[in-house]
């Protein structure tokens, strides 16, 4: 297995990467999690329908129960968390219980939040099953849920005991869900390591055909970047804001579309808007927008979006976590791999950039 150690503020933990799910046994043993512990698997209905037999086979040596939540962003809510709390109490779970987060980012965030708060903190293992969660949300300690159409507004920082990534999970993803994750990979190439963009361009066929070595490479490169950024600013007070590139407008698009536009695609669109703002405010070279748009089109990532409700869209942005002193703050680019954070941007500048980028054909 490939391994990366994340040095968080609380304690270091490992991210294991392989294409063999059975190596999870090795990770459990190394982290002193035994079959005498009690396990609760938290997953969603879609993942459970695909992996029900695998779960039963793998967990045959363990005492476990399964909580299956409904899939979809609308279920990233306290209502779901409350149901899990009650499930844990009904099943006599205590501080020796270990939660398994088996699923994408929503399952990971919900499980992490429950683990952080149930009995003031219990162990959990993150097993991300989507490309988006493997390269992003499974690492960094952010756990949260949505409230009143504001994304991730209630949350805390809490690390898993370890993260286990098997790229074989990606073989069962729908193509649109895989591309959703690839958008976040592209973000890492934009903000931190341009070589990732070249790797995607040079190996696009193999990546889209889900070749193990190509998948492991991009996952490892992204986790290396994420872990380095998190280690330098765990509580997201400054430098870690570079990971928010594209997210401010992206979250607005998610809400505006009633979550019909997935997170990764929304961030990809948000990056195009942020690049146009960067051109106006930081003199970013205009050629980069064209280069990124060309890459999007090769992967069938949308390059346009119509904001139907601009008032509601701006409401979402104005209630984003990155607001400071009632000012909208963006992460922008001076140049490829050179970000500036907490740049004040007003509503007029956002709407102007939308009209020059993703909204130009409407």
Percent of the chain residues past pLDDT 90, beyond the cut = 83
Is 90 marked as binding a ligand?
Answer: no
Is 103 marked as binding a ligand?
Answer: no
The residue to which tokens 């505006």 are assigned: 256
Would the pLDDT of 129 be above 70?
yes
Is 209 marked as binding a ligand?
Answer: no
**Residue, of 312 and 89, whose pLDDT is higher:** 89
CATH ID of 175-356, from 1.20.1090.10, 1.10.3470.10, 1.10.260.40, 3.10.105.10: 1.20.1090.10
Query: Distance of CA 251 to CAs 80, 216, 264, 304, 339, Å?
Result: 21, 28, 10, 15, 19
Is 263 marked as binding a ligand?
Answer: yes
Is 76 marked as binding a ligand?
Answer: yes
Is 172 marked as binding a ligand?
Answer: yes
What's the whole-number mean pLDDT along residues 3-28? 92
Is 73 marked as binding a ligand?
Answer: yes
Is 324 marked as binding a ligand?
Answer: no
Q: What is the pTM of this model?
A: 0.92
The domains of the chain are located at 2-172, 175-356
Is 319 marked as binding a ligand?
Answer: no
How far is it, in rounded angstroms, from Cα 12 to Cα 263? 28
Please tell us whether the domain made up of 2-172 is placed in CATH 1.20.140.10.
no
**Residue, of 324 and 249, whose pLDDT is higher:** 249
Is 170 marked as binding a ligand?
Answer: yes
Number of helical (H) and strand (E) elements in the chain, helices listed first: 14, 11
Is 142 marked as binding a ligand?
Answer: yes
Is 111 marked as binding a ligand?
Answer: no
Is 63 marked as binding a ligand?
Answer: no
pLDDT on residue 317: 86
Q: What is the pLDDT of residues 33-74, one digit of tens each?
A: 987 789 999 999 999 999 999 999 888 888 899 999 999 999
Q: What is the pLDDT of residues 154-195, one digit of tens each?
A: 999 999 999 999 999 999 999 999 999 999 999 999 999 999
């Amino acid at each position: 297995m490939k391994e990366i150690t994340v040095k968080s503020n609380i304690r270091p933990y490992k991210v294991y990467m392989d294409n063999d799910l059975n190596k999870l046994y090795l990770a459990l043993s190394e982290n002193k999690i035994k079959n005498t512990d009690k396990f609760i698997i938290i997953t969603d209905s879609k993942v459970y329908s695909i992996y029900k037999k695998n779960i039963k086979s793998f967990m045959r040596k363990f005492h476990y129960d399964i909580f299956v939540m409904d899939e979809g962003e609308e279920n990233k809510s306290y209502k779901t968390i409350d149901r899990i709390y009650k499930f844990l109490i009904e099943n006599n779970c205590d501080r020796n219980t270990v939660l398994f987060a088996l699923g994408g980012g929503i399952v990971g965030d919900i499980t992490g939040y429950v683990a952080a708060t149930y009995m003031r903190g219990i162990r959990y293992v993150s097993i991300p099953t989507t490309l988006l969660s493997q390269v992003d949300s499974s690492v960094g300690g952010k756990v949260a849920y949505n409230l009143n159409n504001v994304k991730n507004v209630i949350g805390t920082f809490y690390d898993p005991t370890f993260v286990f990534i098997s790229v074989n999970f990606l073989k069962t993803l729908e193509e649109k869900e895989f591309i959703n994750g690839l958008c976040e990979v592209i973000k890492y190439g934009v903000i931190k390591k341009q070589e990732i963009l070249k790797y995607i361009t040079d190996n696009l066929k193999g990546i889209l055909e889900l070749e193990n070595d190509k998948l492991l490479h991009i996952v490892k490169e992204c986790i290396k970047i994420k872990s380095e950024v998190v280690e330098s600013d765990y509580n997201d007070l400054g430098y870690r804001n570079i990971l928010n590139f594209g997210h401010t407008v992206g979250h607005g698009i998610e809400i505006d579309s009633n979550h019909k536009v997935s997170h990764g695609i929304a961030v990809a669109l948000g990056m195009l808007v942020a690049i146009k703002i960067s051109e106006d405010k930081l003199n970013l070279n205009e050629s980069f927008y064209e280069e990124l748009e060309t890459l999007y089109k090769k992967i069938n990532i949308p390059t346009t979006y119509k904001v139907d409700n601009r008032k509601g869209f701006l409401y979402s942005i104005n209630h984003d976590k990155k607001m400071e002193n009632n000012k909208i703050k963006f992460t922008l680019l001076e140049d490829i791999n050179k970000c500036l954070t907490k740049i004040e941007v007003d509503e007029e500048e956002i709407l102007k950039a939308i009209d020059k980028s993703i909204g130009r054909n409407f």
